[in-house]
Chain A
Amino acid sequence: MDPLGGGRAIGDAPPTGPAVVAESLTRTFGPVTALSQLTVEMPHGVVGLVGANGAGKSTLIKILLGLLPPTSGRAQVLGLDCATEGLAIRQVVGYMPESDCLPPDVSATELVVHLARMSGLPSAVARERTADTLRHVGLYEERYRPIGGYSTGMKQRVKLAQAIVHDPRLVLLDEPTNGLDPAGRDEMLGLIQRISTDFAISVVVTSHLLGELERISDHLVVIEDGVLQRSTSTADATQLSGVVLVEVTDGVAELAALLRAAGAQVADDGGAHTFTVELAGEWVLDAIQDGAADLGVGLVRMQRRRHHLTEIFRPEQEGAHARH
């Protein structure tokens, strides 16, 4: 199963320790600080790297690949030092860049075979793995045509295929869903999830679409302006909050007043027919139902709400942006 033979710096034992460690990582470009004192550990599994445009995600990935030296601080990937062991890292790590970087004049098969061989796979193995991988990402007859004629979705699949063709232990995916329509995005997310579950390859994936990361990530790292904002498991980040979202067909103000009178904490949610109630106890749920029945209004929704990732993105601004 291991075509790389002795080339691997690390055995195939189940992963222990973190996949990625960064310590006080700083990187400046002239006057611009892209990363500032970033200290973070990323576990195995699917890690979502969240940040606005220009937050430093791509810089971090390039440092992790050993392509960009940090200005100060250090980073390790799978126990290998990024500043000195770049080649060893790139042997066991796959990378899907964000840019539209595929050469238009070669076919997907040709390109992926070539890149597989550059990762040390013997020719025959590279061909076989390429065929498997391209089939896995859903490219069939098209794979012998020049990439220049591919759609955005097909190009993204080729980029994903080349990142996993050499059976890496970790893949770094930079904005894999960029430019895809909803169906394409769903399929790409499904593929990424299967990379983690079916092939036991750890994944670090960046995106600015938070909903996606919420769906597929086990762990989330949020950076902004090169500074770590948060590093947490997705379950913790989106745990049930003590809030119930209520939507009614009519009579919002009346029902809210009724609940306030019963001692519940009611807050405006911004919607015309919705509000939220602090879940102080089971009695709150009863009060909502009874109140709706008494007023004769239709109860459309009564839902315990999870924190959405957009809320952890910049928690201190939530209050300021609430509409009243």
Chain B
Amino acid sequence: MPAHEMAVEIEGLTKSFGSVHALRGLDLTVPTGQVTGFLGPNGSGKSTTIRILLGLLRADGGRTTVLGGDPWTDAVRLHRSIAYVPGDVSLWPNLTGGEAIDILARLSGPLDPARRTLMLERFELDPTKKARTYSKGNRQKVALVAALASEAELLVLDEPTSGLDPLMEAAFTESILEVKAAGRSVLLSSHIFAEVERLADRVTIIREGATVEAGTIAELRHLTRSQVTVGLDGGADGLSALPGVHDLQVLDGHVSFAVDEVELPAVLAAVARLQPRSIVANPPSLEELFLRHYGDELAAVNGTDR
């Protein structure tokens, strides 16, 4: 069992490139044995954070601990226990995918040949092709197979599925769950919310280099409202008056409204008494959480657009 309670602990991390402040006091924790989702739009500082965690960039300020060590000074020791999948995977063009997998995996530690074979099958990757001929998705598979076939304690995955097709995303989900079951830790950066929602125990959302939200998925859900759509033959009498119901709209026999999380059971009970044809109550997805955080930014963009 690893000795550290937290695989990654970051507090107040700052990093500038010239006059550009990429990170402005970012906080992030990855508890040991858990999958932590790391969300943010392109350019918000996810990759910069990850590259600091790997000792590829030097932090300007803040405290960063990875597996109990300093990512910059203890890099070599730490890297024996870390597997990394970059967001944009470069490979050696004239080596085959299979060669690249072996090299990448063994650079940090031993390689489990059985898992390598299993992962190659699962991700349907032909290891005899030259990396030059691989698409972005296939290059990503190479890095994923290498990371998953290693025995690393911490997996750092930077947007690992951005080029994969959905069947591969299923294979990815399965593999990450196995990693988690083995007690290993995963930091998963993404902008595919469904993926994080499915896999992550905790989520950290960042924006412009600073953490804006962090917690378990359930904790974050409490922060917002469920959207309910009910198919009704009769009227929606009284629904709008119930506590916690907002923005009620009636359209062609469908009633839709938003409900505060705490009032949801009472409201649903009231709806059931109206004999509905259908009820859909969607818990807020991370996408909505995300839009809530970046909504003003999007509004600004759309304002110039339309």
Q: Do A and B bind each other?
A: yes
The residues of A with any CB-CB pair to B shorter than 8 Å are 51-54, 98, 138, 140, 151-153, 178-184, 187, 208-210, 247, 249, 285, 289, 292-293, 298-304, 310, 313-314, 321
CB-contact partner of A298 in B135, B141, B164, B268, under 8 A: B268
CB-contact partner of B138 in A54, A152, A310, under 8 A: A54
Q: A292 to B278: give the CA distance in the assembly, Å.
A: 13
A-B contact count (CB 8 A): 84
Nearest neighbor of A282 in chain B, beta-carbon distance: B277
Given A152-B42, A182-B287, decide whether A138 and B305 contact each other with a Cβ distance below 8 A: yes
The residues of B with any CB-CB pair to A shorter than 8 Å are 41-43, 124, 135-138, 141, 162-168, 170, 191-193, 264-265, 268-269, 272, 275-282, 287, 290, 294, 298, 301, 304-305
Nearest neighbor of A185 in chain B, beta-carbon distance: B191
B265 touches A249 (CB 8 A): yes
Given A138-B305, A321-B170, decide whether A179 and B278 contact each other with a Cβ distance below 8 A: no
Q: Which residues in B have their C-beta under 8 angstroms from that of A184? A: 42
A299 touches B138 (CB 8 A): no
Q: Which residues in A have their C-beta under 8 angstroms from that of B279? A: 299-303
B272 touches A183 (CB 8 A): no
CB-contact partner of A300 in B164, B278, B281, under 8 A: B281
Q: Give me the 4 closest cross-chain CB pairs, A-B, nearest first.
A: A208-B165, A53-B137, A52-B165, A181-B191
Nearest neighbor of A51 in chain B, beta-carbon distance: B165
Most central of B166, B278, B290 by chain A CB within 10 Å: B166
A302 touches B280 (CB 8 A): yes
Q: A140 to B301: give the CA distance in the assembly, Å.
A: 12
Given A53-B138, A313-B166, decide whether A182 and B278 contact each other with a Cβ distance below 8 A: no
CB-contact partner of B193 in A152, A153, A180, A182, under 8 A: A182
A178 touches B163 (CB 8 A): yes
Q: Which residues in A have their C-beta under 8 angstroms from that of B136? A: 178
Q: A314 to B278: give the CA distance in the assembly, Å.
A: 30
CB-contact partner of B166 in A183, A209, A303, A304, under 8 A: A209
